[in-house]
Structure 1
């Protein structure tokens, strides 16, 4: 569990900082950025699979197992949709709404954990859920309109987390399968843009273009860390650790991207972090009780 916690924290810090990375490519369409993200992630993972001992055999086993392939396909489509909405929102001035989306995700994760994984939160953990729910409700009301970006991000990533709990392959093999599943679609779209003279990536300054090529590593590494965490932590706990990411994104949106931030959002922020503290303390108590029982 300690290793899983460490992987989760590193992954969510990286995701919290990613809006700064995608802002570098603000002149490109979201679909073009996503396609490059998928293609270079596939290249990055292919190198890892070829270089890793026994990884190629595991990858072949994954793509020849119909049930696992369906799960990987579902997770691939979910995370790709999540990426597309996130990139579009960041480059169109909706960073705060992306932050709200990832604040909602842990509540969605807990609902999924109770419904599908039969996890049973304790009373204090439910208190944390209530506090977080109040914080999210305040933020939603303060936002003033239906937060479709937030809810889409929460829904796709929550379901992605659930599917990842069902896949038994290691993190690298699973992610290689996900990127391989959508690679043909991404490549076809890039070819279409090139053929219709709509591609803009190749006109980027050389350094920015190199950064776009490195999107594979920037995408794959946090997902690898997340996959390792998902295999070692309860889904409900994983969801609450996720508050690290949107908190960083929220701070970036206000202090770096200069988006409007109201006092009500500060109150929402306080409720959510109170929930995180309560949940962490409750989870520590549960873990200690389990250790004594064993």
Structure 2
């Protein structure tokens, strides 16, 4: 009787990748605290500053990593530039709504938007990419839909924030998925596309006496630092995505909205209604089903 081969050893997680992933989602999780420092600054000025200072940092990174040729190749590709123009518009809407939500006491709805995002990605994959859903994914999406309906009926004034954040970032991810350009180069070109609009808005604000930059030390320093808090987690995420299994990265993505949720009801003192509680419970249940199914599927593939 032939002796069967021993089962393969479980794949060890890349420690550097795990640290990068935790760093990226950890920074995103505390972003409400950072943008709270800019309370009173026009949300569009924050976005403009975020774009311009991010671009400055990214150009330095591109030069240091000698990735200029990839930038030139993307600039010569009309399809790539068209897609990056669309993704730049989507991420600018996402940033603007998110910062406005923090400044106006809607951190809870912001965290809900990013809890919804993975399920929106599944929905967009089905509708636009003709992907097929498994049973667990169907259940997760249905539970999320019921949760959103409950919140819309019970506390509908902030649901537009959650849906705008979830769908703008969902479509952003979809566009970037099909754009023939790397993560670093894509983000650099997106910020370059948005930079003229940001500069024009800042000049307009300055001419109307509404520019916060340069007026007080704390807002000015925070606006400069916004480039770092934008680019650094995205670079960490890009590194983690190369090193970690997709299932692990998928589970890590719930860290940021969980941290934002905790900040909303603790530091920011936002009130959680019964509608919020039911909505979050339904979405968390759906996410748990979705995450466990992804984990088990990835494990079966490794064993096979």
Q: TM-score, normalised by structure 2?
A: 0.84
Matched, 1:81 2:98: no
Following superposition, the deviation at residue 62 of structure 1 comes to 1.0
Determine the structure 2 residue equivalent to 1:276: 287
Q: How does 1:153-172 map to 2 (within 5 A)?
A: 153-172=165-184
Matched, 1:32 2:53: no
Matched, 1:290 2:301: yes
Deviations 1:242-286 (A, max 9, x none): 443322212111101111112443343333223222222211221
Worse-superposed segment, 236-245 or 77-86: 236-245
Determine the structure 2 residue equivalent to 1:248: 259
Q: How does 1:170-181 map to 2 (within 5 A)?
A: 170-181=182-193
Deviations 1:202-253 (A, max 9, x none): 112x244222201101011223344566789999997775443322212111
The structure with the larger Rg is: 2
Instruction: Name the SS of the counterpart of 1:19 in structure 2.
Output: helix
Distance 1:181 1:173, change over 3 A: same
Q: How does 1:221-260 map to 2 (within 5 A)?
A: 221-227=232-238, 242-260=253-271
Write the distance in 2 (CA, Å) between the matches of 1:124 and 1:35: 41
Worse-superposed segment, 144-153 or 213-222: 144-153
Determine the structure 2 residue equivalent to 1:69: 81
Following superposition, the deviation at residue 26 of structure 1 comes to 0.9
Pairwise CA RMSD of aligned residues? 2.8
Determine the structure 2 residue equivalent to 1:96: 108
Instruction: Name the SS of the counterpart of 1:25 in structure 2.
Output: coil
Distance 1:13 1:139, change over 3 A: farther
Q: Does structure 2 conserve the Cα–Cα contact (< 8 Å) formed by 1:193 and 1:199?
A: yes
Structure 2: tracts of 5 or more residues without a match: 1-10
Q: TM-score, normalised by structure 1?
A: 0.87
Following superposition, the deviation at residue 189 of structure 1 comes to 1.4
Q: Does structure 1 conserve the Cα–Cα contact (< 8 Å) formed by 2:107 and 2:260?
A: yes
Distance 1:82 1:140, change over 3 A: same
Write the distance in 1 (CA, Å) between the matches of 2:84 and 2:245: 20
Write the distance in 1 (CA, Å) between the matches of 2:78 and 2:137: 37
Which residue of 14, 21, 24 corresponds with 2:34? 21
Instruction: Name the SS of the counterpart of 1:214 in structure 2.
Output: helix
Deviations 1:45-91 (A, max 9, x none): 111111113x0111111112111011111111100111111111111
Write the distance in 1 (CA, Å) between the matches of 2:121 and 2:95: 18
Following superposition, the deviation at residue 191 of structure 1 comes to 1.8
Deviations 1:120-169 (A, max 9, x none): 33212322333333333333333243622222212211100101111232
Determine the structure 2 residue equivalent to 1:150: 162
